[in-house]
Amino acid sequence: MPKAPITRELIARLPKSDLHLHLDGSLRLETLLELAKARRVKLPSSTPDGLLELVFKRAYENLPEYLRGFEFTVACLQDAESLERVAYELCLDCRAENVFYAEIRFAPQLHVCAGFGIRDVLRAVCRGVERAKKEINKDPAVKRGEVPRFEAGVIVCALRFFLPVFGAHYKAYFEALPTAPPEEIYALASLELARAAVAAAEQEGLPVVGFDLAGQERGFPAKDHQAAYQLAHEHFLGKTVHAGEDYGPESIFQAITDCHADRIGHGTWLFSKKHIKDRSIVDKQAFIDKLVRYVGERRITLEVCLTSNQQTIPELRHDLSKHPFKKMREARCSVTLCTDNRLVSRTTMTDEVEKAVKAFQLDARALKDILIYGFKRSFFPGNYADKRNWVRSILNHVEDTLADAGHDVRGGRR
C-alpha cells in the first residue's frame, strides 16, 4: 500500500516553531507602507507590488542587496508604537500557520533614539509579544487542552561590526571613543546590550530569552564579543550566533568556544573545506570531522534557513538539494527549520518545511523529528518542568495530526 503523501495542507496544519526570525525582516508589507507614510520614511515604491519588485525580491544578486530592505524597515521602527505593533502582528502571523513557538530576534540598538533607550525598545517589543500571546491563548480550545498554547520569546542581537551611519546610538560610541580600536567599540556595545538584556529578563521579567551576534563574519571574529556572551552565560540566557553563513567552519568553532553557543544561526558551511581560511588548520577534513562530532554530541542545534540561503548563495539558488541540510541530518546533527525573514525572504514556515520535504525526500518520521527539535531546543521562557509538559503537548499534537493524514509515527505516550 503506497504511503500517504505529505501535502502542503498537512504541513500547514502541523505544529511548527521558528527559532530564527528577525523582527525587522518580517513586517507585513501593508504595515510597512502605513508606518512609512505616518513617519515620513521615503520608500522606493508606495505600493505592495512595487516594493516586491524593487526591494523584497524572490532572488537577490548578493547579500548586500538582500540586506537593503532592512534600511527601510528599521527606519520605520524608531518608536514604541511601531515596535509593539510589528511584534504583535508577527506573533499573530506565526500562529495563523500553526507556528506554536516563535523566537523573535532583533538589534535593539538600531532602534534607539533621543529619549528612547535600549530598555524602552525591549519593553515595546515584549509588550507586543505578550499582547499577542494573551489574545491567542484565549481560544477555548487552548483552555480545554485540545490545542497547545502559543509561546514566544525575544532574542537580542549584537552586531559584529557597525558604522556611525547605522544609527545615532552607534555614532555616539565613535564620538565618545575617537581613538579606540574599532573592535573595542564593538565589544563595548555588545556588552552594553547584554547588560540591558539581563536586566530586562531578571529585573522586569520580560520574555528576553537569548543573546545573538549577527553581521559579517569575515574579519570580525566572535571573540571580540566574548565579554558580552560571558555575561549572558552567567545569567542563563540562551546563546546563539550567526556563524558559518558567509564564512567557514572555524567561524562555527569560534561561536562555540568563545561565545558558549547553544545554537548556531545557519551553519551553512559546516562541512566545507574550501571555506576554511585559517592557515593553522592543516588537516581540514580532520578539523571538520571533529567539529561535526562536537556539534552533534552536544546537540548544538543548527538553525537552517533554506530560502534565505538560496537567495544569498548562488550555488544553491537553482538546486536546493545541494544544501548541506542533507549532510547535517546524515551526521545526526540537531537541526531545525526557520524562516530568517518572512518579508525579506518572502517565505513562511509552511514554505520552509515544504521545501525541505520536497528537496530531501523527508518521510513523516523525519519530519516529526525535525519539527520537535525546534521546540526541544528553544530558549523557552519558563521553567524546565513546564517546558517538558508543553513540548509533550506539542509532540502529541504533531503525532495526532500526522496520524489523521495516514502517517502513524506515534511513540509511547506519557
The residues that are catalytic are: 245
3-state secondary structure of 231: helix
* Alpha-carbon distance values, 52 to 62, 177, 195 (Å): 17, 40, 38
Nearest one of 131, 120, 19 to 79, comparing CA atoms: 120
**Burial of 92: CB neighbours in 10 Å, binned 0-12, 13-18, 19+:** middle
3-state secondary structure of 208: strand
Count Cβ atoms below 10 Å from residue 393 Cβ, excluding itself. 18
Length of the chain in terms of residues written: 414
15 Cβ contact list (under 8 Å, min separation 6)? 98, 99, 100, 148, 371, 375, 394, 397, 398, 401
Cα angle: 314, vertex 320, 323; to 5 degrees: 80
13 Cβ contact list (under 8 Å, min separation 6)? 98, 401
d(CA 80, CA 121): 7
* Alpha-carbon distance values, 82 to 32, 43, 91, 110 (Å): 10, 17, 14, 14
3-state secondary structure of 301: strand
d(CA 253, CA 193): 23
CB distance 308 to 341 below 8 Å: yes
Set of cell numbers at residue 133: 500571546
Chain centroid offset of residue 221 CA: 20
Q: Which amino acid is at 295?
A: V
146 Cβ contact list (under 8 Å, min separation 6)? none
